[in-house]
Amino acid sequence: MDKIQSLYEALTKVDGFIYPNELALNWDMLIVMYPYITGLVAGAFILASLNRVFDIKALRPTYELSLLTALSFMLVATMPLITHLGQPLRFYEMLITPHLTSAMAIFGFVYLWYLMVVLLLEIWFDYRYDMVIWSREKKGFMKFFYKALTLWVSDTSPESRKTDEKIGYFITVVGIPSAFLLHGYVGFIFGSIKANPWWSTVMMPVIFLFSAMVSGIALVMFIYMVVSYLRKQKIDMNALDTIAKYLFYILIIDFTLESLDQIHRIYEADESFDILKILVRGKLFFTFFIMQIGVGVVIPLATLGFLQFKKPRVRIRKLIYWIISICVLVGIFYMRWNVVIGGQLFSKSFYGFTSYKVNLIGGSDVTLSLLWFIVPFFILAFLLWLLPPWKKAPPIEIPEE
Amino acid sequence: MPLQVKRLLLVFAIFIGIMLVLKYVLTPDSWREYGPYRGNAIGEIASQQAKYVQKESCADCHDSIAEIKSRGEHINLQCEICHGPGYQHVDDENFKMEITKNSTLCLQCHTMNAASPKNIIKQIDATEHNEGEECITCHNPHQPWL
């Protein structure tokens, strides 16, 4: 937050009437990053569970990749929040002094549950057998490291693999509501603020959830293509087409829900509507109509919809998918932006606006946001090196009982 | 129970154990005494020294200024609004108070602002009202019309 030197300077940021405490935005770009990154986690996980629980075989090549993507983003999901705190080193107090009176105080537990009980366990059971095998092949420190990762269980019998498989399945089943919980919770944080008409809607958790799925699926699609390109492997077009199909479906649901919310708002036209109208047409015009709806929804929907009927050559299709995945990722980022920043731009008196200027150079919020978006890719690279999905043993067939 | 599940449960038990120990060790003493916050915080805040000492205590030594101020429109202003917190100065007069001589001080309150009522506080447009000169060349800060 910039320090405001004089009343004159302050007034240059303001249109109309605002309350003094609304002048500076307290939640800056880092808070935009937080729902964005958390959404990517939930979305990537749900893509993985489509394969496992709903048994969509075509998605098999991206199963481990989605899980590892989810994990690497999950590991930094709290960082935007922590670095945004005035006292970052006190964050642990939230975990040791639990209470139910603030929705934000619960995040630590929602996070831990999802990280420890869902993601790590699922990946562990999925890779346990392979880690045992790798620990036998490797030497020195890596041998020890894999051994430690397996918790010194070296059982490779088919029975043990079947147990892994069954428990892994069970965890995925538990994981779906957990992923819903994780991102629904983030939506709830905003949706439950009744003083802010731009946020306060019961639809918020659902909208956040579906936009999370959209962004997570687009991210895995993007990463899958990049990883295949870097490894010089052929892309499984069937898998890619299937991902694109689900992206298309969920994008439709997401857009429908968001439109429903807006139409409801427009038709209800309560006392906050006038200011929101000016907000959306003015300060949010670029980020809302052009980026969120244009780039994030209309272009992908039109292209993916077209691809459902007519399939161009593989090369072109790949290029289209690649561009679309980026469009969707950008669009969802701006969706978070419009929620977080948009909700703070107008005065709760409904008579005026403040403004938010992004310091592209030297602004600590932008630098940190970028950092927390880039770090997960390095973590993912490390995880892919440590636990390469392409070196896994083929899954064991469980006979139908 | 399969071996790997046993191991995992053990790891979880250790993790939860560590968390409980940390919770026990790190939880602040008076947490939850009255509600979800440190009860001691109230006492700590109350025991902090007051930084502002009110204009009556300035009048003990600066009686002439307090005198002229009480005749002008600034009668209701605290001295410390313009001179900063005075708790150190009242004990030790060698501790200098702030003196702001330029217009920004006055404009904090007197600049044109649509949100504040004209009959409560007089406002001037700084670009029209004798621009370029400091306010105190014409107005005495302690008694504006002196």
Put simply, the answer to whether A121 touches B8 (Cβ < 8 Å) is yes
Per-residue pLDDT tens over the stretch B21-77: 999 999 988 988 998 889 999 999 999 988 899 888 999 899 999 999 999 999 999
Contacts of residue A351, defined as CB under 8 A and 6 or more positions apart, other chains included, come to: A16, A17, A18, A275
Put simply, the answer to whether B5 touches A167 (Cβ < 8 Å) is yes
Going from N- to C-terminal start, the domains of chain B cover 3-46, 50-99, 100-139
Nearest-by-CA chain B residue for A101: B36
Put simply, the answer to whether B3 touches A101 (Cβ < 8 Å) is no
d(CA A60, CA A53): 12
Residues of A in contact with B32 (CB under 8 A): 97, 99
Put simply, the answer to whether B22 touches A164 (Cβ < 8 Å) is no
Terminal alpha carbon distance of chain A: 62
Nearest-by-CA chain B residue for A90: B26
Q: Is residue A80 part of a domain?
A: yes
Put simply, the answer to whether B23 touches A92 (Cβ < 8 Å) is no
Q: Is residue A6 part of a domain?
A: no
Query: How many A×B Cβ pairs under 8 Å?
Result: 59
Domain that holds residue A245: 28-391
- CATH code of the domain containing A316: 1.20.1630.10
- Which tokens sit at A123? 């990946």
For residue A140, count other CB atoms closer than 10 A to its CB. Answer: 7
Task: Tell whether A89 lies on the interface with B, counting CB pairs under 8 A.
Answer: no
Q: How many helices (H) and strands (E) does chain B have?
A: 7, 0
Nearest-by-CA chain A residue for B7: A151
Q: Nearest-CA neighbor of A220 among A9, A42, A1, A28?
A: A42
pLDDT at A381: 96
Q: Is residue A19 part of a domain?
A: no
Residues of B in contact with A121 (CB under 8 A): 8
Per-residue pLDDT tens over the stretch A258-270: 999 999 999 999 9
**Pairing of the two strands A352-353 and A15-16:** antiparallel
Q: Is residue A143 part of a domain?
A: yes
- Which tokens sit at A252? 């439709």
Q: Is residue A12 part of a domain?
A: no
Residues of B in contact with A128 (CB under 8 A): 4
pLDDT at A2: 53
Residues of A in contact with B19 (CB under 8 A): 95
Inter-residue contact B49 to B65 (CB < 8 Å): no
- Which tokens sit at A255? 């857009």
Count of the separate structural domains present in chain A: 1
**Host H or E run for residue A352:** strand A352-353
DSSP state of A53: T
Could you say which residues of chain A have pLDDT below 50? Answer: 1, 401
Put simply, the answer to whether A124 touches B8 (Cβ < 8 Å) is yes
Contacts of residue B42, defined as CB under 8 A and 6 or more positions apart, other chains included, come to: B34
Q: How many helices (H) and strands (E) does chain A have?
A: 16, 2
Q: Is residue A384 part of a domain?
A: yes
Mean pLDDT of B82-101: 90
Residue to test with chain B: of A22, A95, A96, A120, most B Cβ within 10 A: A96
- Separation in Å, CA B53 to CA A332, B79, B84, B87, B141: 53, 10, 10, 6, 20
pLDDT at A1: 44
The answer on pLDDT for B16 being more than 50 is: yes
Nearest to A151 among B7, B26, B104 (CB): B7
d(CA A334, CA A285): 11
d(CA A393, CA A98): 43
Residue to test with chain B: of A4, A6, A7, most B Cβ within 10 A: A7
Long-range pairs of A46-52 with CB within 8 A, sequence gap ≥ 24: A46/A176, A46/A179, A46/A212, A46/A213, A46/A216, A46/A217, A47/A213, A47/A216, A47/A217, A47/A220, A47/A243, A47/A246, A48/A172, A49/A172, A49/A175, A49/A176, A49/A179, A50/A246, A52/A168, A52/A169, A52/A172
d(CA A145, CA A124): 14
Inter-residue contact A292 to A207 (CB < 8 Å): no
Rounded to 5°, angle at Cα B105 from B104 and B111? 65
Residues of A in contact with B5 (CB under 8 A): 163, 167
